[in-house]
Structure formats: structure tokens, C-alpha cells
A and B are shown apart, each in its own frame.
Chain A
Amino acid sequence: MTHVLDKPLAAARSSVRKARSPLHGGPLAYAVLIGATLLAVFPFYWTLVAASRSNSELSAATPALTPGPNLFHNLGEALDQAAIGTALINSLIVSSVVTAGVVLSSTLAGFAFAKLQFRGRRALLALTVGTMMIPPQLGVIPLFMVIVKLDLQNKLPSVILPSLVSAFGVFFMRQYLVQALPDELVEAGRVDGASLLRIFRSIVLPVARPGMAVLGMLTFMATWNDFFWPIVALSSQNPTVQVALKSLGQGYVPDQSVVMAGTLLGTLPVLVVFALLGRQIVGGIMQGAVKG
């Protein structure tokens, strides 16, 4: 279908109406969206229901659909039986350290790629972006051998070290700084004779802050939820939350309601972050995040 585009008329009309999203949602749109929202949220609700019931209630002929009285008993059991307490502390340490490392190293390298001239710049950037497409499993076996050699198995550095830098993070910060940081600002600092490090501290960092915040949130969530590498590197004696959940799923705890209580505990911190920063996370992803 080819239309003759009636440009002048269109322009006249768009000045009357806002260009963005010309249509109002009708009742049908709301109905579908509410249905989708319920589907998205129901499993969370069900986790709460299952975690607050007893095992016999979960295998009754008519399942319970409302929360019951057993929540705190089950949470206590989960903390006792599955090392969820240790796991929460471990995950908090790992995710915080990794987030700090990724944000800092990405901002430094992203700034260099965005605003500095140096030999090999394009090749190094291409190398960084190129490796973003490579599945992490490809490096897992040698990485495991390295960790064994360094005697880091079952210790937190084994999951921290490999994640401290991220090719995606560097690319993300570069894209952000290319458009957010005017060349004139950097130039002005140079004309004043400030060293690059000083320019970075007093000019680049303040401008980069919003991008760093988005990268930080995405990195924290991805690290908290990381699965493949931690279950290879850590045991259920010194687990992150995901490793502890794996032990729950493999039947180390026979009680389904306790399994669900552990799942609830492991998901809660991320949900709290989401409740507080949901809007910013949505904004960050719409700016073009990549599955990590």
C-alpha cells in the first residue's frame, strides 16, 4: 500500500493534537492490561499464600487461595534448614561489591571511549562490544579451573572477581556520556590545565551520575539473580540466595511450604528495590537495556 502523504495537512493537524500517542485507551485496552497485570503479579501472591500455609494444606483437595497463619513459622524453618540467612548476607555482599566495581570501571572506560582520542580506540571498543554476544557458558569451564587453581572454590571472591567488570556496562556508559557530556566541558577543563583525573572527578562524574544510577540498579538486580556461575563456584554450605534456592528445589528441604517461604525471602529484597525504584528501572530499560 502506498499512500500519497498529505504533508501540509498532517502538519496542521498535528499542531492541534499532541504528536505522542494520539489514542485514548478504551475499556477493552484496560481490561486486557489488567488481565496481563494479574498474570504478572499472581505468582508473587501465590508465593505468599503457599509460604503461609502448612504442607498438608498445600496438598489438600481444595487449595487455599488466601494467606494462612503459618508464615513466620515457615520463614524461621527456611532460615534454619536452608542457610537462607547466610545466603542473604552473602548475596548482599557480592551484589554490592560487584555493582560498585562495574559502575566505577565502566564509567572510567566509558568516558575514555566517549571523549578521548587514543591509538587503538576503535579496535578496543569493537572488541568490547563483540564479546557482549558471547554466552557466559563458553568461559565457564576454564574459569572454574582458574578458581580451583587459585583455591577460591566456595569463597565469595570466586563469584565477585569474574563479575567486577562488564562489557555491557562499558558500552552503556559510553553511549550515555556521548550524548550527556558536551565536548566543550572537557575542553574547558583542559584549557584550565586540569589533569584528566581531575576533569573526571569534577566534571565527568556529576554529569554521569544518572547513567551510573541506572547501570547500578540493573547490575545489582542481575548479580542478585545470577545463577549459572554461582552454583558452579559455590556449595550449599556458603551459598548466595540463588544457590540456596537451588538446594531448596533439589529437595534438601522436603516441606513445600518451607520451600516457598525460602523463595519469598530470596525474592523480597529485589521486590523492595523494585517498589522503591520501579519507575527508574522502567526508565532505564526503556533507554535500551540489554538482557543480561
Chain B
Amino acid sequence: MALSSTARLPAAKSAGPAGRTRRRLAPYGFLAPFFVLFAAFGLFPLLYTAYVSLHRVELQTSEQMDWLGLQNYTRLLDDPFFWNALRNTFTIGVLSTVPQLLIALGLAHLLNYRLRGRTFFRVAMLMPYATSVAAATLVFAQLFGRDYGLINWTLSSLRIHPVDWQASTWASQFGVSAIVTWRWTGYNALIYLAGMQSIPGELYESAAVDGASRWQQFRHVTIPGLRPTIVFTVVVSTIGATQLFGEPLLYEGNSGGGISHQYQTLGLYLYEQGWTFFHLGRAAAVAWVMFLLIVVLALLNAAIAARRNRTDR
């Protein structure tokens, strides 16, 4: 960086031309460390993915690229496992996001009361967020075990028929979603709590004066006040759900996502194409499809938020 020499200049006098140039260029020196690495390891791969997805590239010979045009994409659309992964991504996404955000909203409301041990509750609820995907999944895979898992043992003790949490489609998807919900609910509750604390107290006061019950205050003061925060969490959770990968990979420890691919997500399908079957070009095509999906979902979220804003005002 060309910022090292410190010319101590009297303030009143203007610097010489060299000093002025340095002043003008200095900000770029501050940006350089970030942008140099960002360009090499962030931007370049993003753009290059599109190029790779139009070629046959095999993992063992990744130097060699054969032009295919759109063939990777057409093969993708002909693959029933791709559509299966797309469907699973959607159902697991809904199963893990909707209950998670609703529970987080309820918990945030409770955490907003004046409580003894407020900090303790907040830290305890954030602990799952500190656990890695891998660790959380290994523990939950144990708990959800078919024959010796604690959850099935509890069900049996309650005289409820035990569930096959791996082989059955809906039960395995529920199991994977439970891991996501466990890890992220506390985090989102804190985000909502931060949003709630920025709602001016006077609004509640005046609602109370007008005779609004606690529930009405929640519906007509808290929820509208949280709208931007809710939109934010919905967008972030949707993007997170689209990329689900670690949970389904380690739920039973294979990249197929279950015996009949019943909980294979798009992220896992991408990994299987690239690092189980060694088709990097096809994996790049999956990556682009995932990206388009995220863009569509983000736009959809934004459109819904905008419409709700219009109808509410």
C-alpha cells in the first residue's frame, strides 16, 4: 500500500501535487485488501460458474473442459431426482421455516416482558445457534434413531406407535426440519426481540388507553411495527432453506438423502453430482438453478411485502 510516508503538512497551506494525488488515491488503498481477495475468491468464481456449467468437466480431470452448450441443463430437467430434490427442498423449507418463525415470534414476545434472569434466557436460547450443523445433526440422528432413539422410546412409553424417522418420507423430512428449527429459532427470536424493543412505548400506551386488550395490542401494534424485521427474517430463512445441505447429508450419512432420496435437497443433489459422481459441470448447472430459484423467491417475498404494505395503509 502506498500510504506509508507521513508528510506532516501545515494545515493552512495546501499540499503539493504529490500530496494531493496521495490524498485522492488513499481511500482505494483502504479498500484494496478486501477487494483484491474478494475479486479472486468471491466474484471470479461466481461468474466462472456460468462458463463451467456449459461444459463437461470431470472431477479427476478438472483441467479439461469440453463444450456442451445447454446440455447440462437439459439433462438436469430430464432427471427425476432433480425434480425430487426440488420438491423436497420446498417441503422441508416450509416445514422448517414456518413453525420456526412463528415460535420465534411468540418467544420474542415473552422475552420482551420484564423478567428475572432475562439475560440467562436469551443466552440459553441462542446456544443451539452456536452449535455446528454437523454436531447438531449427529445428536439429532441419535435421538431420532428407529430402534434405540430416545424419541421413539418416549413415544413407546406413552403407548404411541414408534415412528421410522429415516425411511418414511414425511417423518424423515420432519426430522431434518426439526434440526433446522432447533438451531435457528432462538436466533430469530432475538432478531424479533430487537425489533420489538425499537417500537415506541407510546403506541402501546395509547392503544391501552383506547381499551385494546393485550392480544389486540400484539396484533395491531407489535406485528405492524415488526413488519420490516419479519420480511428480513423470511427472506434470510428462505435463502437458508434453499441451501440446506449439512442436515440431510449427515442425517444418515450419505449424499443420496435417504434410501429412496426422500429427503435429498438441492444442495445435497449438487454435492452428489459433483463429489460423488464427479460431474463438476452438471453440479455448476445445479448451482445456477439454485441461484435463480433464490432470486425468484426473494422477488416474490419483496412483492408480497410491498402489496401488504399497500393494502394495510
Contacts and interface: CB of A to CB of B under 8 A. Distances in A.
A142 B107 contact: no
Interface string A1-20: 10111110111011001111
A124 to B, nearest CB: 7
A281 B239 CA distance: 23
A141 B126 contact: no
A40 B187 CA distance: 11
Interface in B54-96: 57, 62-63
B49 A138 contact: yes
Contacts of A9: 206, 209
Contact of A59 (B34, B139, B147, B185): B147
A126 interface: no
B179 to A, nearest CB: 10
B135 A228 contact: no
Chain B at the A interface: SS class: helix
Given A59-B147, A194-B6, A131 B42 contact: yes
Given A6-B206, A282-B119, A291-B240, A170 B24 contact: no
B226 interface: no
B138 A259 contact: yes
Interface in A200-251: 200, 221, 224-225, 227-228, 232, 241-242, 245-246, 248-251
B123 A21 contact: no
A58 interface: yes
Interface residues of A, number: 119
B133 A5 contact: no
Nearest to B114: A24
Contacts of A156: none
Interface in B8-46: 8-11, 23-24, 26-31, 33-35, 37-38, 41-46
Contacts of A178: none
28 contacts: A3-B206, A3-B207, A22-B208, A25-B113, A32-B107, A41-B124, A118-B28, A131-B42, A135-B242, A135-B287, A137-B270, A138-B290, A142-B284, A145-B280, A165-B33, A165-B41, A195-B5, A196-B27, A197-B6, A200-B30, A242-B132, A245-B134, A248-B138, A250-B254, A278-B123, A285-B126, A291-B184, A291-B236
